[in-house]
Structure 1
Amino acid sequence: MKRGLVLLDPTETTTEELKARVSDCQRLLQDRGIDLALIYGDVYRSGDITYLSNLCIYWNEGILLVPAKQDPVFLTKLSRRVHPWMRANSIIEDLRSGPNLAQLVAEYVNEQPAGVIGLSEMNWWPASVIEELRAKLPGWELRDLQSAIREKRQVPSASEQKLLLESAKVSARAVAAGLDGALSNPERAGAAERVARMAGVEDVFVYCYESGSQADTVEVISEYRGYWTTAARVIARESADWANMMDVTYGVIVQELRAGTDLNRLYAQLGAVIPEENNLSWKLDLIHHTDIETQGDYRLPDELDKPIPAGSVVGLRLVCTFADGTEAVMADTFAVEEYGANRLTGDLPIARYQPNEK
């Protein structure tokens, strides 16, 4: 099941807040001289669309069209039978379906004088859709909006912080359910996913795998009300000495996490902690909550070195790779403040040792 519970709960996110986000986007368009924005989304990546509308692209693909001065419109390949459900769970009233997204855009702008259309993160759009847009919109300029909308999402509002905290609690509980020495990895995956699904997530990725010959990793990535968080822990035998080193190293890295921190700074701390004679390979990642949806795959190279601003919510991930190619992972989701970070995923055990053979 790709998508679970989808709803619009006014006690969590008000329609006024959603409309304010759209207005903020429209001010950006007006400031840049752009007539309308197109935001592409599919099953793998649709966070910007959810942020502005609460729509969930549970299947296929679609475009949120945001005019600079009118109400947004959702264009999709999904059939019209889902329109009532989408209206009930979003702020979008105008939904249009058809087999060709570029044609739907062309039909919308057909009677308007040619102007400028901004494509959110144009480099990640399917090339075929952009080619069709150029062919069907003669006289219109297609301009890259880059990551403007995603960047606005990186520092969450008070209501978003509450939902991120709940999402993080779900991820942590799911990992904890898998940290049972009596379970096999498939059983761990089932236990973890059951916890997340029963908590009402829209989506969840569960990875349970061997970490060398003496341990396993349980890693969970959850989406709750459109907000993504992550957590991971290792379950190891007493004889796995590297697990103690991973425990200490992760703790040192966490202490370094605060506003202004970047990945290079964390790597410097990693190099200071790991012994020179260590024969394991170590890797770090620092992922904004807006990028956990795609596990960081859609970030541009220059984004990786940017400092984390105060108020951000991020996933921290430490990976230890063994000679056999397997990995051990520790991860949490943090709210980053000026002088430190609050672990939203709580006090999960760093490593849980098994008294018996794996």
Structure 2
Amino acid sequence: MRRGLIVWNPEEITRQALDTRLERLRAAMSRDGLDAIILYTNFVRPAAVAYMSSFSPYWADGLLFIPASGQPIFSTSMSTRMNGWIKTVNPVGDVVNTRRPGVHVGAWLKDHPDVRRIGVVEIDGLPAGIYDDLAATAPHVSLVDATALFADYRGHVDATEHALLSRAATLAEEGLAAVDPQAMTEAGTVVGRVEQVARLGGAEEAYVAIAPDTGSDLRLARLSGAVALGRSFAVRSSVAYKGAWVRRTRTFSADPAAAGQIARLDAWFADLVANLDTARGLAPQVEAAAIAAGGSQPIALIESCSGTYPLQALASPAQPPRPGALYVISLAMRLDGIGWIGATPVIPGMSLATADRATETA
């Protein structure tokens, strides 16, 4: 279950912003000849529904059904006692509580025989039970993959999302800034402090991972308790604020010589990210730059949000980034005996330093 407060703030996510997103999606649906689109959501795949409705689920399956015209329907297996609360945090469309969302949406389709071609985002990841319920209840419809359509649509950070991403990035950075390698000697203390800062700042979710000794192992894991920290260690903070997710990773050391080297690598990485060629794939550039700087075993990871997962690795890391889309650039490598990991969120052509409240544009 999510542990943070989930609430719709109409000043942070305006109804106009949500209406504009709906209009843009319907325009994309029209171009692809879709009569409706289905977005699936659960605990680990909340991104598409959260973007369209401002609502992030707790644990249950749900479908956001968006017809080409008329009111969207959020059909969820959450209990009926949650209906009133969901309506306060999900201002888009009708909310229906049902044990089998696929049957409910299928029944709607059966009553609307003119709605025949339905796009499903990440259709291969739709649970088999829901797919079977849709197909059995509305056998006349054609269910087609709308993953590429939605990914193209999501490659656009509007002013509302930009403000939320900026706040999430600030919370992640503030949590990492609270790490004191001189005073903290165990992983549990570090992880707890980073999460505490994010949650007290308003994050509804904060996942903190740590590599307790980067000298021997660069892998990040969710650890707690009395795990001793090595000469250098790295912490990754993944933070959600009003459905907008970012990741930030930093490396630390109590040793002055190692800390100085880490600071130089941090500055090098910031400069690298700021000057990447957006006409080429990001991962090959980052790894090549790491090798040129003397790093060994560099591993670059580029993540973005294009579907139901908040952040996921790009299927084609050599593909050039889209201007105005969110990316998280991560790099792990070894240099002169130090294991170093860094990660930062970026939006090509935009800055996450300030929350831009500019007028929404389509």
Unaligned runs of 5+ in 1: 346-358
1:225 has 2:242 as partner: yes
Mapped pair 1:257 → 2:257: no
Deviations 1:69-125 (A, max 9, x none): 111000110011111112112223411111112211222112221611110121222
Pairwise mapping of residues 1-358 of structure 1 onto structure 2 (< 5 A)? 2-113=2-113, 115-183=116-184, 184-210=186-212, 211-212=214-215, 213-236=230-253, 237-238=255-256, 240=258, 243=262, 246-247=265-266, 250-251=269-270, 253-257=272-276, 259-262=278-281, 263-274=283-294, 280-288=296-304, 294-297=310-313, 299=314, 301-302=315-316, 304-320=317-333, 328-337=340-349, 342=351, 344=353
In the alignment, the residues of structure 2 paired with residue 19 and residue 101 of structure 1 have an alpha-carbon distance, to the nearest angstrom, of 24
**How large is the Cα RMSD of the aligned pairs?**
2.7
Please say which of residues 34-43 and 149-158 is displaced more in the overlay. 149-158
Residue type of the partner of 2:45?
A: R
Give a deviation string over 1:131-181, Cα, whole Å, max 9, x none.
332233212111110132243233211222122111111010011122433
8 Å CA contact 2:48–2:307 kept in 1: the answer is: no
* Aligned partner letter, 1:81: R
For residue 220 of structure 1, what is the amino acid of its counterpart? S
Helix, strand or coil at the partner of 1:188? helix
Q: Percent identity?
A: 22
Matched AA of 2:210: C
Determine if contact 2:175/2:194 at 8 Å carries over to the other structure.
Answer: yes
One-letter amino acid of the counterpart of residue 235, structure 1: F
CA-CA distance at 1:5 after TM superposition: 1.9
Deviation at 1:66, TM superposition (A): 0.2
Residues 163 and 225, structure 1, Cα contact 8 Å, conserved in 2? yes
Deviation at 1:311, TM superposition (A): 2.4
> Cα gap change, 1:40/1:321 in structure 2, threshold over 3 Å: closer, same or farther?
farther
1:20-63 C-alpha deviation (Å, 9 max, x unpaired): 21122122222222221110011101111111111121221100
Larger RCO of the pair (alpha carbons < 8 Å, separation 6+)? 2
Aligned length: 332
Structure 1 residue 293: deviation in Å? Answer: 5.4
Output the TM-score relative to the length of structure 2: 0.83
What SS class does the counterpart of residue 146 from structure 2 fall into? strand
Separation in 2, partners of 1:271, 1:143: 43
| 1:81 counterpart SS class | helix
> Within 1, Cα distance between the matches of 2:9 and 2:263?
43
What do the CA deviations read for 1:203-226 (whole angstroms, capped 9, x no partner)?
111112312242111110100111
Q: Which has the higher strand share?
A: 1
Q: Residues 312 and 146 (structure 1 numbering): CA distance in 2 closer, same or farther, change over 3 Å?
A: closer
Q: 1:65 to 1:146 in 2, by over 3 A?
A: same
Identify the residue that residue 351 of structure 1 maps to in structure 2: none
1:290 Cα offset (Å): 5.4
Partner of 1:178: helix, strand, or coil?
coil
* Equivalent position amino acid for 1:74 in 2: F
* Structure 1 stretch displaced more, 145-154 or 93-102: 145-154
- Shifted more, 221-230 versus 244-253: the winner is 244-253
Q: Determine if contact 2:47/2:308 at 8 Å carries over to the other structure.
A: no
- Stretch moving more, 117-126 or 244-253: 244-253
Contact kept in structure 2, 1:192 and 1:206, CA below 8 Å:
yes
